[in-house]
Structure 1
Amino acid sequence: MSNIEDIVDALDKKISKVLQNNDVLKETNLKLSQEQAQYHSTIKNQELEIKAWKDKYNTLKMANTILGSDEDKRETKLKINALIREIDHCIGQLSE
Protein backbone atom coordinates (compact mmCIF):
# COMPACT_ATOMS: atom_id res chain seq x y z
CA MET A 1 0.00 0.00 0.00
CA SER A 2 2.78 2.37 0.88
CA ASN A 3 4.26 1.97 -2.56
CA ILE A 4 1.00 3.03 -4.24
CA GLU A 5 0.68 6.01 -1.91
CA ASP A 6 4.23 7.08 -2.79
CA ILE A 7 3.43 6.82 -6.48
CA VAL A 8 0.22 8.83 -6.06
CA ASP A 9 2.05 11.49 -4.02
CA ALA A 10 4.81 11.73 -6.62
CA LEU A 11 2.23 11.96 -9.38
CA ASP A 12 0.32 14.63 -7.46
CA LYS A 13 3.52 16.68 -7.04
CA LYS A 14 4.34 16.38 -10.72
CA ILE A 15 0.83 17.43 -11.74
CA SER A 16 1.06 20.38 -9.37
CA LYS A 17 4.38 21.44 -10.94
CA VAL A 18 2.93 21.10 -14.44
CA LEU A 19 -0.06 23.24 -13.48
CA GLN A 20 2.25 25.87 -11.97
CA ASN A 21 4.38 25.87 -15.11
CA ASN A 22 1.22 26.18 -17.19
CA ASP A 23 0.14 29.24 -15.19
CA VAL A 24 3.57 30.83 -15.55
CA LEU A 25 3.54 30.17 -19.30
CA LYS A 26 0.06 31.68 -19.63
CA GLU A 27 1.22 34.83 -17.83
CA THR A 28 4.32 35.03 -19.99
CA ASN A 29 2.23 34.53 -23.11
CA LEU A 30 -0.13 37.33 -22.06
CA LYS A 31 2.79 39.69 -21.40
CA LEU A 32 4.35 38.84 -24.76
CA SER A 33 1.04 39.38 -26.55
CA GLN A 34 0.71 42.80 -24.92
CA GLU A 35 4.27 43.69 -25.92
CA GLN A 36 3.60 42.52 -29.46
CA ALA A 37 0.50 44.72 -29.68
CA GLN A 38 2.52 47.65 -28.35
CA TYR A 39 5.27 47.04 -30.91
CA HIS A 40 2.71 46.86 -33.73
CA SER A 41 1.28 50.15 -32.57
CA THR A 42 4.75 51.69 -32.48
CA ILE A 43 5.50 50.41 -35.97
CA LYS A 44 2.25 51.88 -37.33
CA ASN A 45 3.02 55.22 -35.72
CA GLN A 46 6.53 55.18 -37.18
CA GLU A 47 5.17 54.29 -40.62
CA LEU A 48 2.76 57.22 -40.43
CA GLU A 49 5.59 59.49 -39.33
CA ILE A 50 7.78 58.29 -42.20
CA LYS A 51 4.94 58.96 -44.65
CA ALA A 52 4.50 62.46 -43.22
CA TRP A 53 8.23 63.14 -43.55
CA LYS A 54 8.21 61.86 -47.13
CA ASP A 55 5.31 64.16 -47.94
CA LYS A 56 7.15 67.08 -46.34
CA TYR A 57 10.28 66.18 -48.29
CA ASN A 58 8.36 66.05 -51.57
CA THR A 59 6.69 69.38 -50.77
CA LEU A 60 10.04 70.94 -49.97
CA LYS A 61 11.53 69.48 -53.12
CA MET A 62 8.66 70.93 -55.14
CA ALA A 63 9.11 74.32 -53.47
CA ASN A 64 12.82 74.27 -54.28
CA THR A 65 12.15 73.39 -57.89
CA ILE A 66 9.56 76.16 -58.17
CA LEU A 67 12.03 78.62 -56.68
CA GLY A 68 14.24 77.80 -59.61
CA SER A 69 17.15 75.74 -58.43
CA ASP A 70 19.38 75.12 -61.43
CA GLU A 71 19.41 71.35 -60.95
CA ASP A 72 15.69 70.88 -61.28
CA LYS A 73 14.62 73.43 -63.89
CA ARG A 74 13.48 70.77 -66.32
CA GLU A 75 11.54 68.98 -63.61
CA THR A 76 10.00 72.29 -62.54
CA LYS A 77 8.84 73.03 -66.06
CA LEU A 78 7.33 69.58 -66.40
CA LYS A 79 5.46 69.92 -63.12
CA ILE A 80 4.18 73.38 -63.97
CA ASN A 81 3.01 72.12 -67.36
CA ALA A 82 1.27 69.16 -65.70
CA LEU A 83 -0.46 71.52 -63.27
CA ILE A 84 -1.58 73.77 -66.12
CA ARG A 85 -2.97 70.80 -68.06
CA GLU A 86 -4.81 69.64 -64.95
CA ILE A 87 -6.29 73.12 -64.40
CA ASP A 88 -7.31 73.31 -68.08
CA HIS A 89 -8.97 69.93 -67.79
CA CYS A 90 -10.90 71.07 -64.69
CA ILE A 91 -11.99 74.25 -66.43
CA GLY A 92 -13.12 72.20 -69.40
CA GLN A 93 -15.22 69.98 -67.17
CA LEU A 94 -16.79 73.00 -65.48
CA SER A 95 -17.66 74.52 -68.86
CA GLU A 96 -19.60 71.45 -69.96
Structure 2
Amino acid sequence: MNDLSKIVDTLENRISKMLHGYEKLKQENIRLEAQANETHKMLKASQEEAQQWREKCSSLQLANSMLGSDQHKRETKLKINALVREIDQCIGQLSE
Protein backbone atom coordinates (compact mmCIF):
# COMPACT_ATOMS: atom_id res chain seq x y z
CA MET A 1 0.00 0.00 0.00
CA ASN A 2 2.93 2.26 0.75
CA ASP A 3 4.24 1.88 -2.82
CA LEU A 4 0.83 2.80 -4.23
CA SER A 5 0.77 5.92 -2.09
CA LYS A 6 4.24 6.94 -3.36
CA ILE A 7 3.14 6.40 -6.94
CA VAL A 8 0.03 8.52 -6.41
CA ASP A 9 2.10 11.25 -4.74
CA THR A 10 4.58 11.18 -7.64
CA LEU A 11 1.74 11.39 -10.17
CA GLU A 12 0.14 14.28 -8.28
CA ASN A 13 3.49 16.04 -8.20
CA ARG A 14 4.02 15.58 -11.94
CA ILE A 15 0.46 16.67 -12.74
CA SER A 16 0.91 19.73 -10.55
CA LYS A 17 4.15 20.62 -12.34
CA MET A 18 2.52 20.09 -15.72
CA LEU A 19 -0.44 22.29 -14.78
CA HIS A 20 1.92 24.98 -13.54
CA GLY A 21 3.90 24.78 -16.79
CA TYR A 22 0.68 24.91 -18.78
CA GLU A 23 -0.44 28.07 -16.96
CA LYS A 24 2.95 29.70 -17.54
CA LEU A 25 2.76 28.85 -21.25
CA LYS A 26 -0.80 30.10 -21.43
CA GLN A 27 0.20 33.45 -19.91
CA GLU A 28 3.19 33.69 -22.23
CA ASN A 29 0.92 32.99 -25.21
CA ILE A 30 -1.46 35.76 -24.13
CA ARG A 31 1.48 38.16 -23.75
CA LEU A 32 2.88 37.23 -27.17
CA GLU A 33 -0.53 37.64 -28.83
CA ALA A 34 -0.88 41.10 -27.31
CA GLN A 35 2.63 41.96 -28.48
CA ALA A 36 1.83 40.68 -31.99
CA ASN A 37 -1.33 42.79 -32.10
CA GLU A 38 0.59 45.88 -31.00
CA THR A 39 3.28 45.21 -33.61
CA HIS A 40 0.60 44.78 -36.27
CA LYS A 41 -0.95 48.13 -35.31
CA MET A 42 2.45 49.82 -35.44
CA LEU A 43 3.16 48.29 -38.85
CA LYS A 44 -0.17 49.47 -40.21
CA ALA A 45 0.42 52.98 -38.86
CA SER A 46 3.90 53.03 -40.41
CA GLN A 47 2.52 51.91 -43.77
CA GLU A 48 -0.14 54.61 -43.67
CA GLU A 49 2.45 57.22 -42.76
CA ALA A 50 4.71 56.05 -45.60
CA GLN A 51 1.80 56.33 -48.02
CA GLN A 52 1.09 59.87 -46.83
CA TRP A 53 4.74 60.80 -47.34
CA ARG A 54 4.69 59.30 -50.83
CA GLU A 55 1.63 61.40 -51.68
CA LYS A 56 3.27 64.54 -50.27
CA CYS A 57 6.42 63.81 -52.24
CA SER A 58 4.40 63.36 -55.41
CA SER A 59 2.57 66.63 -54.76
CA LEU A 60 5.84 68.44 -54.17
CA GLN A 61 7.31 67.04 -57.36
CA LEU A 62 4.26 68.21 -59.26
CA ALA A 63 4.47 71.65 -57.65
CA ASN A 64 8.17 71.90 -58.50
CA SER A 65 7.52 71.02 -62.10
CA MET A 66 4.76 73.61 -62.32
CA LEU A 67 7.10 76.22 -60.89
CA GLY A 68 9.46 75.65 -63.77
CA SER A 69 11.67 72.87 -62.53
CA ASP A 70 13.16 71.12 -65.56
CA GLN A 71 13.46 67.86 -63.66
CA HIS A 72 9.79 66.91 -63.79
CA LYS A 73 8.41 68.88 -66.75
CA ARG A 74 7.79 65.78 -68.85
CA GLU A 75 5.87 64.08 -66.04
CA THR A 76 3.77 67.20 -65.54
CA LYS A 77 2.97 67.48 -69.24
CA LEU A 78 1.90 63.83 -69.31
CA LYS A 79 -0.27 64.32 -66.21
CA ILE A 80 -1.90 67.44 -67.69
CA ASN A 81 -2.53 65.63 -71.00
CA ALA A 82 -4.14 62.74 -69.13
CA LEU A 83 -6.36 65.16 -67.20
CA VAL A 84 -7.37 66.94 -70.43
CA ARG A 85 -8.28 63.60 -72.06
CA GLU A 86 -10.33 62.67 -69.00
CA ILE A 87 -12.14 66.02 -69.10
CA ASP A 88 -12.83 65.54 -72.85
CA GLN A 89 -14.32 62.11 -72.12
CA CYS A 90 -16.54 63.59 -69.42
CA ILE A 91 -17.73 66.34 -71.77
CA GLY A 92 -18.42 63.73 -74.44
CA GLN A 93 -20.50 61.67 -72.02
CA LEU A 94 -22.43 64.70 -70.85
CA SER A 95 -23.25 65.75 -74.40
CA GLU A 96 -24.70 62.32 -75.29
Give the partner amino acid of 1:21.
Answer: G
Quick one: distance in 2 between partners of 1:80 and 1:67? 14
Q: Structure 1: 5+ residue runs without aligned partners?
A: none
Normalized against structure 2, the TM-score is what? 0.90
Give the partner amino acid of 2:71.
Answer: E
- Measured on the aligned residues, the alpha-carbon RMSD in Å equals 1.2
2:23 aligned residue: 23
**Residues 22-73 of structure 1, C-alpha deviation per residue, up to 9 Å, x if partnerless?**
1111111111111111111111111111111111111111111121201222
| Correspondence list, 1:58-73, <5 A | 58-73=58-73
Q: Is 1:57 matched with 2:22?
A: no
Q: Structure 2: 5+ residue runs without aligned partners?
A: none
1:12 aligned residue: 12
Give the partner amino acid of 1:69.
Answer: S
Taking every aligned residue pair, what percent have the same amino acid on both sides? 49
2:2 aligned residue: 2
| Correspondence list, 1:77-96, <5 A | 77-96=77-96
Tell whether the 8 Å contact from 2:61 to 2:72 is kept in structure 1 after alignment.
no
Aligned length: 96
2:75 aligned residue: 75
Give the partner amino acid of 2:69.
Answer: S
